[in-house]
Amino acid sequence: MLKLTYSSLLVGLALAGASSVFAAPADTDKLAVQDQLPSQTATEYPRPPGWDKLPQGEFGEKVLRGYKNFVNTQTLSPQYVGNGLNCVNCHTDAGRKENSAPLWAAYMSYPVFRAKNNRINSFEERLQGCFQFSMNGSPPDYGSEALIDLSAYAYWLAQGTLTGKDFDPKDMEVPSDEDLLKGGLREDFPFMKAYLDKGGSKEPALPGRAYPETPTTALAPDIARGKVVFEQECSLCHGANGEGQQVNNRYVFPPLWGPDTYNWGAGMQRVNTAAAFIKHNMPLGQPNKLTDQQAWDVAMYLDTRDRPQDPRNKGNVAETRKEFHGKTSYYGTEVDGKILGSESFPNHPNKPK
Ligand code: HEC
Ligand code: HEC
């Protein structure tokens, strides 16, 4: 396999279009001259604001901290982050890109009932879910600064769904921390009327939300075919064993399986979710390059490789599968003579508790 050097890697990234990541201004004082909005192509999707719309003062600082933690989650407490990933790895363009589970759509979709834990979830609870499973960590407590900052960032990004490009940060209502953490899908949300007037929906299904499902294909997903796709389209960046690639101890290409990635409770370990993410986002910078069949096959290949244990496992894989995993998960099923989940990596692999 071709081994990447750092410079070829940067060239590769530039070619792949990865430079579109929404970079924060280095210095908040320079905001006025730094509008970092990527090219504003007209789309049917609500548009999140650019940095020129960052409110001044304490709330703006929360937004900026939330952004920084989102793109560089590794700098948060190792309690919260038990693997090598950053939120942005799965919510691309700093959580701004439609069809990549964008934060602006997410913010306007909570509180909502989730079958995953069988109760109504606030926005902060949904954030905790990604910490526990996608980040393989112990989630920050309710009301903690990390959750407030991330919620502030999401709320600010959602202003585009409420007021379009004419949104003026000076007029933005600044919710209390307690209100902020609940999410925007509620009668007493300060902007609900304006939101509905702009064509917003009370249903948690905004255009561009989550990852659009990849249609099922004539052939059922297949590991052997998926391995071929992986070797041809993915391993150059993600490594021959899905281990990712690091430069100076930081992943530039995130791991797909093994001890340092999402665990057996994460959304991405469901084959349909991985197929949807991959179809619209991978190979990097080439959305929709794969056929639907290739996306399903490679998703199955990834999601039958071992990874950190499901943190809900109390010692019995079969019971954990029965209680928490549907037919879109391979956890607890037999692949290559082994029950997946029976010898998984521990939670919080390399991090002190
Ligand atoms: C390994 C990939 C991965 C990582 C890393 C990840 N997430 Fe997620 N996230 C997902 C998936 C998959 C979903 C579910 C999307 C769906 O419903 O189809 C999701 C959903 C969400 C949602 C709800 C979206 C909605 O519309 O309901 C929020 C909010 C969220 N993640 C925030 C975060 C934050 C904050 C972090 C970092 C602390 C993070 N995620 C890290 C994969 C990831
Ligand atoms: C040109 C390099 C490159 C190629 C080729 C590539 N990826 Fe990625 N992949 C990335 C990068 C970089 C990210 C993180 C994206 C970000 O942070 O914006 C990523 C993220 C991911 C993620 C979510 C994060 C994680 O670690 O789980 C998955 C899943 C994934 N890629 C699967 C694939 C699959 C499957 C293929 C082949 C079809 C593929 N990638 C091809 C560079 C690449």
Dihedral angle at the C-alpha atoms of 25, 31, 32, 36, nearest 10 degrees? 30
If one residue of 4, 231, 246, 256 were mutated to test the ligand 2 pocket, choosing by the most ligand atoms within 8 A of its CB, it would be: 256
Q: Which amino acid is at 209?
A: R
Q: How many helices (H) and strands (E) does the chain have?
A: 14, 6
The maximal CA–CA distance of the chain, rounded, in angstroms, is: 61
Around ligand 2, the residues with Cβ closer than 6 Å are: 12, 16, 18, 85, 88-90, 92, 233-234, 236-238, 253-256, 261-262, 268, 274, 277-278, 282-284, 290, 298, 302
**Hey, whose CA ends up nearest to atom 37 of ligand 1?**
87
Rounded Cα distance, 312 and 264, in Å: 9
Going from the Cα of 130 to the center of ligand 1, the distance in angstroms, rounded, reads: 5
pLDDT at residue 24, rounded to an integer: 59
Ligand that comes closest to the CA of residue 278: 2
In angstroms, what CA-CA distances link 192 with 152, 158, 174?
17, 12, 14
Going from the Cα of 251 to the center of ligand 1, the distance in angstroms, rounded, reads: 19
If one residue of 98, 124, 134, 148 were mutated to test the ligand 1 pocket, choosing by the most ligand atoms within 8 A of its CB, it would be: 134
45-197 belongs to CATH 3.30.413.10: no
Ligand that comes closest to the CA of residue 153: 1
Rounded Cα distance, 251 and 259, in Å: 14
For residue 80 and ligand 1, the question of a CB distance below 6 A is answered with no
Going from the Cα of 84 to the center of ligand 1, the distance in angstroms, rounded, reads: 15
Going from the Cα of 254 to the center of ligand 2, the distance in angstroms, rounded, reads: 7
Going from the Cα of 74 to the center of ligand 2, the distance in angstroms, rounded, reads: 18
Q: Which ligand 2 atom is nearest residue 262's CA?
A: 27
Going from the Cα of 242 to the center of ligand 2, the distance in angstroms, rounded, reads: 10
Rounded Cα distance, 133 and 329, in Å: 14
Going from the Cα of 137 to the center of ligand 1, the distance in angstroms, rounded, reads: 14
Rounded Cα distance, 27 and 157, in Å: 19
Going from the Cα of 31 to the center of ligand 1, the distance in angstroms, rounded, reads: 28
pLDDT at residue 43, rounded to an integer: 53
For residue 85 and ligand 1, the question of a CB distance below 6 A is answered with yes
In terms of pTM, does the model score above 0.85?
yes
Nearest to 299 by CA among 256, 261, 255: 256
Nearest to 254 by CA among 31, 52, 92, 46: 92
The strand ranges marked E within 71-145 are 112-114, 119-121
Ligand that comes closest to the CA of residue 147: 1
Rounded Cα distance, 186 and 195, in Å: 11
pLDDT at residue 137, rounded to an integer: 95
β-pairing, 112-114 with 250-253?
Answer: unpaired
Burial of residue 309 (number of CB atoms within 10 Å: 0-12, 13-18, 19+)? buried
- In the chain, which residues fall in CATH 1.10.760.10? 45-197, 223-339
pLDDT at residue 28, rounded to an integer: 38
pLDDT in tens, 290-316: 999 999 999 999 999 999 999 999 999
- Ranges of residues in the chain whose predicted pLDDT is under 50: 1-20, 26-42, 352-353
pLDDT at residue 350, rounded to an integer: 52
Dihedral angle at the C-alpha atoms of 205, 211, 214, 220, nearest 10 degrees? -120
223-339 belongs to CATH 1.10.760.10: yes
Q: Is residue 166 within 8 Å of residue 194, measured between CB atoms? A: no
Q: Which ligand 1 atom is nearest residue 261's CA?
A: 1
pLDDT at residue 264, rounded to an integer: 98
What does the buried/exposed string (b/e) look like for 237-276 if buried means 16 or more CB atoms within 10 Å of the residue's CB? bbbeebbbbeeeeebbbbbbbbbbbbbbbbbbbbbbbbbb
